[in-house]
Structure 1
Amino acid sequence: MTGTDADGTPDGAGSAIERARGVLRPKRAAAHSVLTTFPPTPALEPFVEFHWHVRWDLRGQPPYDQKVLSHPNVHLVFEEPVAAVYGVDRGLFVRRLEGRGQALGVKFRPGGFRPFWGRPVQELSDRVVPADRLFGPVVQETNRRLLALEDPAGTAALAEAFLLPLLPEPDPQTAEVAAMVETAGRDRDLVRVEQLADRCGVSVRTLQRLFAEYVGASPKWVLRRARLHEAAQRAESGSVDWAALAADLGYADQSHLSRDFTAVVGLPPTRYAQRS
């Protein structure tokens, strides 16, 4: 299983930089932890986007709070003290790193967790649920074995060995919904839910129902979060024409972008850029 550190080196699942999108202060994050990602085995590809592994050693140093603008994905995370399922975090996700440790996450495709869960994914939104509620006690035994490994690729392989016997029957709507989410994140011209529904060939009500059932976040949230990801990434790149960026991202003006960014990140994009 081939992986890549978050240095831009590509592998079978795409750019590591793109997969780290949403991590705030990525340069600081890289000074406190090491992120490695792995593509899923073909049998898991309909459900899983990629696996991510984070390791850190902050012994003798203060704890570090890593902040992330989450994506519309559910994660199965093997970590201390127990493995857990993380629903879509519609706010700002904060993870405190301290001491020495590691975590391995399975990032499901948008909609990809629905066949495992068997219920509306919206029920998991903004929640962290012990994984044994869904997978039974065996998942915690896998968690103990996985965290005893020193090899990141080995942890990803063990997670896959756990998931492969549990694969559900494919749901054709999973791929359809994933394509809708990808369209929302890729097409800058789409700034309203009505536009996205029209592009996807469904009614607004159908789009909202599918996102509640399969994604766990509304189409409006997905469109807005994609714009905030772009704004944060631009802020990290250096000098930014914020008025031009606001227009490029479909905001009415710079103040609208600033309000949106501040509401989630906690400070305006101009200040965020100054402290990057």
Structure 2
Amino acid sequence: MQVDLIESAVPAPESLRPWITELGRFPAIADASLPFTHVPYAETTIVLRAADRPEALVLGPRTRAAYSKSDKPAGCARLRLAPGTTRQLLGVAAADLADRVVRLADLPGVAAELANELVTLPTEEVLPFLEEVLPQRISEDPTRRMHRELLGAAVAAISATPTVHELATGLGVSERQLRNLFTSGIGISPKHFARIGRVRRILVDASNVAVPLAHVAAIHGYYDQSHMAADFKALMGVPPAKFFQGQVPAPTPCKSAQ
């Protein structure tokens, strides 16, 4: 079973950081016969696939895990969008992209105008190209910048804040404003964002067989192991013990662009 948690990544240059956080590189799958686990994630990404027919795709936030098999190995590069930038770059709210795969060229935003160039560039030239052309194409205003910065602060604080109420209070906004910011700027609720982050951290910690699951549950703030198992199963489809034994749902073909 292969899991898409490990990839090499380079941070975006400072001039791109308001909109793109990093460029990840995922190598071609070593053994296409093994099921591949697509772990839940809370970002919107632009994926540049290096296949027989290169293409630029947009993957919205994935709210639950998916298990697939690929017919042939294919590597890719992934541009991770900063929270709150989906509408600026792609022309749509992040909520419209949740659990979807869309062709970049089919979207109305400024990034779609760069799709053809992005898929033909060597990976190491993608960030320099975007640094040169993207800032000049993006329209910015104080309100949009404020919302983006507020959402960035919420994302930075959420893992250490017990409740949505406390997070909103700390940021000086109402819970309704905070939920609206997450829905439009990230595509999921703040509670689901926090759950995804916690399950991803569990996947890293629990992959060490020397660490008991009860200990993993405790260090991640769960009441007990059964509480963690229920949360894990809701997002991953199976409890952690079965997942790490390779007992996962039957794989399906990779999801096509919609």
TM-score range, shorter chain: 0.7 to 0.9
| Mapped pair 1:145 → 2:120 | yes
Task: Tell me the amino acid that sits aligned with residue 154 of structure 1.
Answer: E
Q: Distance in 2 between matches of 1:243 and 1:113?
A: 38
1:53 to 2, 25, 32: 25
| Mapped pair 1:267 → 2:238 | yes
1:232 to 190, 197, 203: 203
**Residue by residue, what CA displacement relative to the aligned partner does 1:208-244 show, whole Å, maximum 9, x if unpaired?**
1111121111011011112211211111123233334
1:249 to 213, 220, 224: 220
Q: Distance in 2 between matches of 1:103 and 1:87?
A: 16
Residue 164 and residue 54 in structure 1: after superposition, are their counterparts in 2 closer, same or farther (change >3 A)?
Answer: farther
Q: Distance in 2 between matches of 1:104 and 1:118?
A: 22
Shift of 1:69: 2.4
Specify the SS of the correspondent of 1:43. Answer: coil
Shift of 1:256: 1.6
Structure-2 residue corresponding to 1:77: 47
Shift of 1:165: 4.1
| Mapped pair 1:89 → 2:57 | no
Conservation of the 8 A alpha-carbon contact between 2:168 and 2:175? yes
Q: Distance in 1 between matches of 2:45 and 2:205?
A: 26
Conservation of the 8 A alpha-carbon contact between 2:90 and 2:111? no
Specify the SS of the correspondent of 1:107. Answer: strand
Structure-1 residue corresponding to 2:152: 178
Q: Distance in 2 between matches of 1:96 and 1:154?
A: 30
* Number of residue-to-residue matches in the alignment: 238
**Residue by residue, what CA displacement relative to the aligned partner does 1:135-180 show, whole Å, maximum 9, x if unpaired?**
487534224413xx4xx42344445556344333162211210110
| Mapped pair 1:24 → 2:3 | yes
**Residue by residue, what CA displacement relative to the aligned partner does 1:84-122 show, whole Å, maximum 9, x if unpaired?**
111111111556445343322110112232322344321
Conservation of the 8 A alpha-carbon contact between 1:73 and 1:108? yes
Shift of 1:65: 3.8
| Identity over aligned pairs, percent | 24
Structure-1 residue corresponding to 2:10: 38
2:101 to 90, 109, 128: 128
Q: Distance in 2 between matches of 1:169 and 1:64?
A: 45
Conservation of the 8 A alpha-carbon contact between 1:57 and 1:98? no
Task: Tell me the amino acid that sits aligned with residue 172 of structure 2.
Answer: G
Q: Distance in 1 between matches of 2:4 and 2:75?
A: 20
Conservation of the 8 A alpha-carbon contact between 1:38 and 1:153? no
Structure-1 residue corresponding to 2:251: none
Specify the SS of the correspondent of 2:18. Answer: coil
Structure 2 alignment gaps of length 5 or more: 248-258
Residue 106 and residue 96 in structure 1: after superposition, are their counterparts in 2 closer, same or farther (change >3 A)?
Answer: farther
Q: Distance in 2 between matches of 1:62 and 1:209?
A: 40
Conservation of the 8 A alpha-carbon contact between 2:206 and 2:212? no
Task: Tell me the amino acid that sits aligned with residue 3 of structure 2.
Answer: L
Task: Tell me the amino acid that sits aligned with residue 104 of structure 1.
Answer: A
Structure-2 residue corresponding to 1:17: none
**Residue by residue, what CA displacement relative to the aligned partner does 1:193-216 show, whole Å, maximum 9, x if unpaired?**
223223333221111111112111
Q: TM-score, normalised by structure 2?
A: 0.78
Specify the SS of the correspondent of 2:3. Answer: coil
Structure 1 alignment gaps of length 5 or more: 1-22, 30-34
**1:85-124 residue pairs with structure 2 within 5 A?**
85-94=58-67, 96-124=69-97
Q: Distance in 2 between matches of 1:274 and 1:104?
A: 29
| Mapped pair 1:207 → 2:148 | no
